[in-house]
Amino acid sequence: MDYYTLLKFAHIIGFILLGGGLLAVFMSEFQAYKTSDICTFAEAARYTAIFYDAFAAPGAILVGVSGFFLVLELGIGFFAEPWVVGMWGLFLFEFIEGNTVTRVQFRRTLRRSQDALKRGNPLTHDLRDEARGLFNKVTHFLDIPLFTVIVYCGTVRPDTWVHVLVAIGAGVLMAALFVVLVPRIARPWGATPD
Ligand code: HEM
């Protein structure tokens, strides 16, 4: 296997791990919104942390490092093509946000829900809102739309900034819809925990 093919192979394994981890997090977060049981709520927070650490984080490192060397190997430059800038720019934003704000959020959610479980507290609206506030929702629900935009950049390779910016706009809109709709789809409007 030559060097370029090895990089490409690593890049694909990297984004399979990252994408798989983000989709798994989406499902564990969905379960947390859906449930009225404190055990399931705490378990969902535990799985969110596991999926981030076991899949998303190593996948991100692999896709980032292999992507960097792919740019060097192909000699395309980091600023020459809008699709390349779209890939590493969004990746860098997601990587920093994912390892700072999101990580603080899911660790806090894990602590709060495990604490409530230990105390035998029921799952209340307050606990739910405290463990998963608006900021938590935004950081989580940005992941998959922005990942999709990066895949679009890597496969469709838009050659104008307009295409890249429209794709990012569509990604942000999708994230906003997730923030509004997912908690409501998971738990019908106004339904209160038992
Ligand atoms: C979430 C992060 C990323 C995802 C999901 C992703 C996804 C992809 C996809 C789907 C392709 C097309 C593969 C193919 O043609 O078979 C690709 C190619 C590429 N990616 Fe990424 N990528 C990511 C991050 C990066 C980063 C950070 C860089 C640069 C620093 C990068 C540089 C490249 C380059 C140069 C190619 C072209 C490879 C070629 O022509 O053979 N990628 N990426």
Give the model's pLDDT for residue 194. 46
In which residue are the tokens 């942390």 written? 49
The verdict on the CB of residue 8 being under 6 Å from ligand 1 is yes
Helix-strand-coil split of the chain, %, nearest 5 = 85, 0, 15
Residue nearest to atom 33 of ligand 1 (CA): 67
Residue nearest to atom 38 of ligand 1 (CA): 70
Residue nearest to atom 29 of ligand 1 (CA): 67
In this structure, are residues 9 and 1 in contact, taking their beta carbons and an 8 Å threshold? Answer: yes
Tokens (6 digits) for 115:
């604490």
Confidence (pTM): 0.91
Question: What single-letter DSSP state applies at residue 75?
Answer: T
Measured distance CA(143)–CA(94) in Å, rounded: 7
Span from the CA of 77 to the centroid of ligand 1 (angstroms): 13
The verdict on the CB of residue 64 being under 6 Å from ligand 1 is yes
Measured distance CA(41)–CA(128) in Å, rounded: 9
Tokens (6 digits) for 128:
């739910």
Residue nearest to atom 11 of ligand 1 (CA): 154
Span from the CA of 67 to the centroid of ligand 1 (angstroms): 6
Q: How many residues does the chain have?
A: 194
Give the model's pLDDT for residue 128. 82
Give the model's pLDDT for residue 191. 54
pLDDT tens digits in sequence order for the chain, 194 residues long: 899 999 999 999 999 999 999 999 999 999 988 898 999 999 999 999 999 999 999 999 999 999 999 999 999 999 999 999 999 999 999 999 988 888 888 898 899 889 989 988 888 888 887 777 788 888 889 999 999 999 999 999 999 999 999 999 999 999 999 999 988 888 755 555 44
Give the model's pLDDT for residue 159. 93
Neighbours of 183 (CB within 10 A): 19
Give the model's pLDDT for residue 122. 86
Give the model's pLDDT for residue 89. 96
- Within 13 A of 19's CA, how many CA atoms are on the CB side? 14
